[in-house]
A and B are shown apart, each in its own frame.
Chain A
Amino acid sequence: MRFAPESTSNSAALPYRYNGKELEAMNGLNQYDYGARRRGAGLPIWTAVDPLCEKYYNMSPYAYCMGNPINKTDPNGMACCGSGDNNDDGNNDPFIKHHSFEPSFDNSHGTWDDMHLPQDGQDMLDKINRSGKDDDFNHQPSYFATDANDKGKKDNNSTENSKTAATALPITIAVGDILEEFGLTLSTAVSAVSSIFTGLAVILQGDTSPNQYDAFAQHGINKGKLSTEELEILKQKAANGTLSNADKQKLKRHQKNTKERPSRQSKDDKKDKKDKKKN
C-alpha cells in the first residue's frame, strides 16, 4: 500500500489526523504519536522496534499492522488487531490463526523473509524459548537472516522455507533437551528442522490429553526379533556354511520384522544417486 507524503501546512489547526492520532510536525519531525511508538507520516512503518517483537518471529519489528493497514489497526503501537483475526480459541492474535504463514510480503529487496513455520512448530519454539533452555535461541536477528543466495528468491515450498529458517538456529541441543524431559535420549545428534518441532508439538499436545491413547491402549505382542547374540550366531553359521533351513527362516523372520530388505525401487534409487555422485 502506498502512503502519500502528507502536508504539514495545516497541522497546527488539525493535529489529530490519520487514525485520530496526533501528528507531531514540529521542527519537521512529521510523525504520528501512537503511545507506545511513533509512525512515520509518509511511510507505513514504525520508527522504533516492536516491544513485542519476540512474539512475531517472521515479521519485521518495524512493520505497521503486519503490512495490512486496510484490514488491521494498531491503536497504541503495541499490537495490531482487526477483522478476521479471531482464531478458533477466540484469541485475537493474528499469528495464531493460520497453521502456516502465507508469504505476504515482497521479498525482492531481501528485507523480508518468507518464514514458513507451521503453527505447531512455532508454538514449540515458543515453548523452548520460554523455558530458557538455549540462550542462543532468543529470537535474534539471525533467525531472519537467510543465505545470501536465497535473497530475492520467491519460494513457496514450505519445507524448504522451514529448513532455511530453522537451520539458521543453534537448536540442535534443544531437541535432545525436550526429549530428555520425557526420559528419552538420542543415540546420535540430529539436525534441527522445524518439522521435528512440529512432530514434537503433536506428541506433547497429545501427551497432555490422555484420551488420545485410549483408542490404542493395548499394544500387541512384541516378539519375532532376534537378540544381538542370536543374530551374531546365525551370521557366524552363515559364514561357516552351516546354516540350516530353520536358521535361515529365523533370520528371515527377523529381517521381515525389522524390514531390513529395502524394496527394489529404493535400491535402484540409491544406486542412481551413487552413480550420479561418482559422475
Chain B
Amino acid sequence: MDKDIIALINSINMDNANYSIAKKQLDNILLHGKLSKSDICEIFALQNNIIIADFLKEYQYFSRNDIKFINEYIIKNLNNQDRLFVSDLIEFAIDWDLDLPYEECLSFLNKYEEDNHYVLLVTIEYIFKNLKFSYIDSIIDSLNKIVDNPNQLQPAQVLASFVLFRITQKKEYLINLVDLVVNYGHQELLYNLLQETYNDQKYFDYHDFLITISRVNG
C-alpha cells in the first residue's frame, strides 16, 4: 500500500466538512494512476460518501476484478441510509452494466419517501436499461403509481411517463410527459434524457418530436 495515498486518504477524513479540499486530495490520489485493491478498499472506508461517489465516477483504471468487488459493495450498500449515495452507486451500476438484485430494485419504485427520490430516478433508468419482461406487470404497475402519485416529485414522473410511453406507446403517457415538461419546466431533464444512446433517433420514433418539446418555452 502506498504511504502517500494513505496520507491523502487520512487528510480527506480530516477535512471532512469542506468538499473542495477533500476533492483536491482525491484528485491527487487519482494522479497516481492504477490503485491496488487495498487502496480502493481504504477509499471505500472513507466517511465522506460524496468523495467515494466522485472516485467511482472519475477513476479510470478499474479492472474486471475491481468491478466484481465494487458490484458486491454496491449490493451491500443498497439500503444505506444516505440515499443520495445509493443513487450514485446505482448510477455506477448503470454505467458498468452491473447486476443488481432486480426485485429489490423494483421495491425501490414503490417507496414514496422523499429521500428515496434520487434512488427512484436512477432505479427507473436502471430498470429501463435492463428491462426484464418477466417482471413487466409489476414494472408497469409501479411506474403508473409513480405517475399517478401527487406526493412524488415531478422529475420521477417525467422519467416514468417517458419509460411508460416507450414501453407501451400509449399516447396518454406522451400527453402527460409533454404536459409535465412544458407546463412545469422540465425541458432540461427531457433533453438530457434524449441524449442517452438508448434513446437515440435510430431506436425511437418520437425522438425529434420530444427534442422539439424540450425546446419549448412553456
Contacts and interface: CB of A to CB of B under 8 A. Distances in A.
Contacts of B63: none
B75 interface: no
Contact of A188 (B57, B152, B156, B215): B215
Contacts of B125: 263
A78 interface: no
A219 B186 CA distance: 13
Contacts of B110: none
Contacts of A108: none
B136 interface: no
A242 B22 CA distance: 11
A8 to B, nearest CB: 52
B209 A199 contact: yes
Given A202-B171, A203-B175, A259-B193, A241 B20 contact: yes
Interface residues of B, number: 68
A262 interface: yes
Contacts of B174: 199, 202-203, 206
Contact of B176 (A198, A216, A237): A216
Contacts, number: 173
A200 interface: yes
B42 interface: no
Interface stretch (A10-18, A84-92, A264-272): A264-272
B215 A263 contact: no
A249 B84 contact: yes
Nearest to A242: B20
- Candidate in B95, B180, B211, B212 with the most chain A CB atoms within 10 angstroms: B212
- Candidate in A198, A202, A237 with the most chain B CB atoms within 10 angstroms: A202
B102 interface: no
Interface string B73-104: 00000000000100110010011100000000
Interface stretch (B1-9, B11-19, B31-39, B64-72): B11-19
Given A223-B153, A257-B189, A262-B195, A190 B19 contact: no
Interface in B126-173: 147-157, 161, 171-172
A92 to B, nearest CB: 26
A27 interface: no
B117 A224 contact: yes
Contacts of B84: 249, 252-253, 256
Contacts of B193: 259
A7 interface: no
Contact of B16 (A200, A212, A245): A245
A218 interface: yes
B196 A262 contact: yes
Interface residues of A, number: 57
Given A184-B218, A241-B24, A263 B94 contact: yes
A219 B154 contact: yes
Contacts of A256: 84, 87, 118, 121-122, 155
- Candidate in A220, A245, A256, A266 with the most chain B CB atoms within 10 angstroms: A220
A190 B215 CA distance: 9
A219 B184 contact: yes
A175 interface: yes
Contact of A220 (B16, B151, B189): B151
A186 B218 CA distance: 9
- Candidate in A202, A219, A225 with the most chain B CB atoms within 10 angstroms: A219
Contacts of A264: 95-96
Contacts of B207: 195
Given A196-B208, A256-B118, 16 more contacts: A184-B182, A186-B212, A187-B215, A195-B209, A202-B175, A206-B174, A212-B172, A212-B175, A224-B155, A245-B16, A245-B18, A245-B48, A257-B155, A259-B193, A260-B192, A263-B94
Interface of B: 16-21, 23-24, 48, 50, 57, 84, 87-88, 91, 94-96, 117-118, 121-122, 125, 147-157, 161, 171-172, 174-176, 178-180, 182, 184-185, 188-189, 192-193, 195-198, 201, 205-213, 215-218
Pick the 4 closest A-B CB pairs, nearest first.
Answer: A199-B209, A264-B95, A220-B152, A218-B150
